[in-house]
Amino acid sequence: MFVWYLVGFVVIVAVIFAVGYIMKRKHYQRINALEAQKIELMERPVIDELTKVKKLRLTGQTEDLFESWRDSWDEIATKLFPDLEEYILGAEQHTDRYQFGKATQMENQVEQVIHDIDTQMKQILRGLKELIASEERNALDIRAAKDTFTTIRRDVLSNGYKLGDALHSIEGELDTVAENLNRFDMLTEQGDYLEARETVLNLQHDLEKLANKMDKIPSLLRESDIILPDEMSKLQAGYDEMANQGYYLEQLQLAAELERMSHRVSDLKGKIVAGELEAVENGVAELHTEINLFYDTLEHEVEARHFVKENRIVVEAKLEKQMAVSDALAEQIKEVKQTYHVADDELAVYLKVASQLQTQKEQLETVTERLSEVKIAYSAAEDTLKEIDAIVSGIALEQDTFAEELRSLRKDELEAREDAKRMRRAIMNLNQRLDRERLPGKPDEYIALCEHMEASISKLESKLEEKPLNMKAVNNEWRVAKEDLEHLTEKADEMIENVHLVEHVIQYANRYRLRTPDLAIALRKAEDHFYDDYQYKKALEIAVTALEKVEPNAFKKIEKAYEMKINVDEVE
C-alpha cells in the first residue's frame, strides 16, 4: 500500500514540474517577444532625425513644435525606456519563481509601455518628416506663386485700362500679395517653416482669387457699361415704336422699370469695384432675364393685336347670331306657353342665359370702344374675346338643349295620346285572349289590377286634356300607365300558364288517384281552388306537392312537355 502512495506522490510531483516547465516556457517566449519589440524601438532613428532638424535654424511655431518633440523624446529616453527595462526584469524574476500571475501583470505593463513609446515615436518621426517636407514644398510652391504674381502684375500693367475703377482695388491686392511674399521669405530665413507654410498656402488662395477677378472683371464691366445699357436703350426704342403704332403699353410701367434697372446697374458697378463678383454675375443674369421678359411681353402684344384683328368681328357675329337665337327662342316660349305649361325653373335657365348674352354684348362693346381709344392692351382684349367666345359657345349649347325640349313637347304630347290608345287596345286584346282561353273565371287580384290599369289610363287621358298642358305631369302618368300595363300583362301570362299547368298536372296525377287516397284528396282541393275561387297558382302548388310525394320530379317532366308541346309520356 505504501508503495502505491509513493508512486502517486512521484507522479503528482512530476506533473507539477511538467506544468511549471510549460508555463515557464510560455512566459519566456512572451518576454523574449517583448524584448525584441523593445530593441526595435530603441533602434529607431529618432535621435538622428532630431539632430538633423536641430541643425536647421528654427524659430516661432517651428521651434516650439521641435521643442515639444524633443521633450517627448527625453521622456522616452529617461523614463519610459528605464521603466520598460524594470518591468521586463520583474517579469523574468516572477517567472523564475513560478509566480506566473505576477509575471503576467508585469508583461501586460511592458506591452502598455511599448505601446506608449511606439505612439510617441511615430508622432515625433511623422512631425519631423512633415517639417522637412514642408521646407521642400514651400520652395516649390513659393516659386510657382512668384511666377503667378509676376504674370498678374504684368497683365495689370499692360491691360489695366480693362479693369476700370476696379484697377485701384486690384493694385491694392497685388501690394498685399507682394508683402506676403516678402513675409514668406523672412519667415523662411528665420526658420519658422510652419508659419511660412501657412503663408504660402494663403498666397496660393489669394493669387487664385486675383486671377479669377482679372478674368471676370473686364466682361462684367462690359456688361454694366455697354451691353445692359444698350439693351435697355433698344427696349425703350422698341416700346416707343410700338406706342406710335397704336399699342397701349402703359400697363408695363417701362419708364419706372428702366429707371430701376439703371440704378441696379450702377449698384453692380460698385460691387465690381468691391470685388463682389458672384453677386454681380447673379445681378447681370437677373437683369437680362427681366429685359427678355419685357421683350416677350411686347412680342405677345404683337401676336394679340393680330388675333384681335382676325377674331373681334368673328366673335361679334357669333354673339349677334346667338342673341338672335335667343330672341327667336323667346317667341317660341310665348307660343308654347299658350298650349303647354312651362316650369318656372326652365324659364329661369332661359332668362339667365339671355342675361349673360346681354352682359357679353356690353363687354364686347366696351373692349371695342377702348381699342378705338387706345386705352386697352391687345393682350387684355384677346383674353376678353376668348372669354366671350367661350361663354357664348356654352350658352349656345344650353339654348339648343332648351329649344329641343320645347320642340319635343308637341312630339311627346302626340306620342302620349297615341300610346294611351295603344294601351286601351292592349287591354282589349288581353281580355280577348283570356276569353279564348275559356278560363273558369278571373281571380280578384287580376280584376283589381285591371281596374287600376283603367284608372291609370284615365289619369293619363285627363292630364292630356288639361290647358295649358303640363307635360311633366303627363309624362309621369304615362310612365305609371306603361308600368301598370307591363305588370298586368305579366300577371295575365302567368295566370294562363298556371291554368294550363294545373290541367296537365291533374291529368297526369289521375293515374295515381284511385290507389292513393291522400293524392285524391289533394287533387279535389286543388280543383276546388281552380273552379271556385280561381286561385290557379295555389291550385298548382297543391297539386304539384301531392304529385311529387307519389312521383318525385314528375312536375319537371310535365313542364318540359308543356314547353315542347308534346305528350308527357314522350319526355325522356
Rounded-to-integer distance, Cα 301 and Cα 380, Å: 9
Q: Is residue 306 part of a domain?
A: yes
**In contact, 430 and 489? CB cutoff 8 Å:** yes
Same domain, 527 and 485: yes
Domain boundary among 150, 176, 208: 150
Same domain, 239 and 315: no
Same domain, 183 and 130: no
Same domain, 449 and 348: no
pLDDT of residue 202: 79
Same domain, 305 and 226: no
Rounded-to-integer distance, Cα 333 and Cα 344, Å: 12
pLDDT of residue 279: 85
b/e map 94-118, b = 16+ CB within 10 Å: bbeeeeeeebeebbebbeebbeebe
Q: Bridge-partner residues for 340, per DSSP?
A: 469
The model's pLDDT over 121-175, given as tens digits with 9 standing for 90+, comes to 666 656 656 655 566 676 676 777 666 667 767 766 566 566 666 556 666 666 6
Same domain, 195 and 328: no
Rounded-to-integer distance, Cα 232 and Cα 227, Å: 9
Q: Is residue 417 part of a domain?
A: no
Same domain, 55 and 135: yes
**In contact, 464 and 420? CB cutoff 8 Å:** yes
**In contact, 60 and 190? CB cutoff 8 Å:** yes
Rounded-to-integer distance, Cα 8 and Cα 11, Å: 5
Same domain, 403 and 470: no
Q: Bridge-partner residues for 469, per DSSP?
A: 340
Burial class (CB in 10 A: 0-12, 13-18, 19+), 444: exposed
Burial class (CB in 10 A: 0-12, 13-18, 19+), 331: exposed
DSSP-derived letter for residue 469 is: B
Q: Is residue 292 part of a domain?
A: no
Mean pLDDT in order along the chain per 10 residues (572 residues): 51 49 64 67 60 51 57 62 66 63 68 69 63 63 70 66 62 68 68 68 73 72 84 90 87 88 86 77 89 90 90 89 81 66 61 78 87 87 90 83 69 80 89 86 88 87 77 83 90 89 88 89 90 89 90 86 75 58
Q: Is residue 18 part of a domain?
A: yes
Rounded-to-integer distance, Cα 180 and Cα 190, Å: 15
Same domain, 146 and 28: yes
pLDDT of residue 458: 87
Rounded-to-integer distance, Cα 145 and Cα 182, Å: 12
Domain boundary among 409, 430, 461: 409
Q: Is residue 237 part of a domain?
A: yes
The model's pLDDT over 309-335, given as tens digits with 9 standing for 90+, comes to 998 889 888 888 888 887 777 776 766
Distances (CA, A) of 210 to 148, 152, 169: 10, 8, 10
Same domain, 234 and 192: yes
pLDDT of residue 465: 79
Rounded-to-integer distance, Cα 506 and Cα 498, Å: 12
b/e map 285-301, b = 16+ CB within 10 Å: eebeeebeebeeebeeb
Q: Is residue 100 part of a domain?
A: yes
Same domain, 369 and 319: yes
The values of phi and psi at residue 469, to 5°, are -80, 125
The values of phi and psi at residue 340, to 5°, are -120, 150
DSSP-derived letter for residue 571 is: -
**In contact, 488 and 449? CB cutoff 8 Å:** yes
Q: Which three cell numbers stand for residue 432?
A: 280577348
Same domain, 105 and 37: yes
b/e map 190-213, b = 16+ CB within 10 Å: bbbbbbbbebbeebeebbeebeeb
3 state SS of 442: coil
Q: Domain range holding 399?
A: 300-409
**In contact, 307 and 371? CB cutoff 8 Å:** no
Q: Is residue 239 part of a domain?
A: yes
pLDDT of residue 348: 60
CA 486 to chain CA mean position, Å: 55
Domain boundary among 150, 184, 212: 150
What residues contact 376, with CB distance under 8 A and at least 6 apart? 248, 367, 370
pTM (two decimals): 0.48
DSSP-derived letter for residue 440 is: S
Q: Is residue 282 part of a domain?
A: no
Helices (H) and strands (E) in the chain, counts: 17, 0
Q: State the helix-helix crossing angle for 444-464 and 471-513, rounded to 10 degrees.
A: 160
Rounded-to-integer distance, Cα 522 and Cα 513, Å: 10
What residues contact 415, with CB distance under 8 A and at least 6 apart? none
Number of CB atoms found within 10 A of residue 175's CB: 10
> Which stretch of DSSP H or E encloses residue 329?
helix 277-339
> Per the structure, how many domains does the chain have?
4
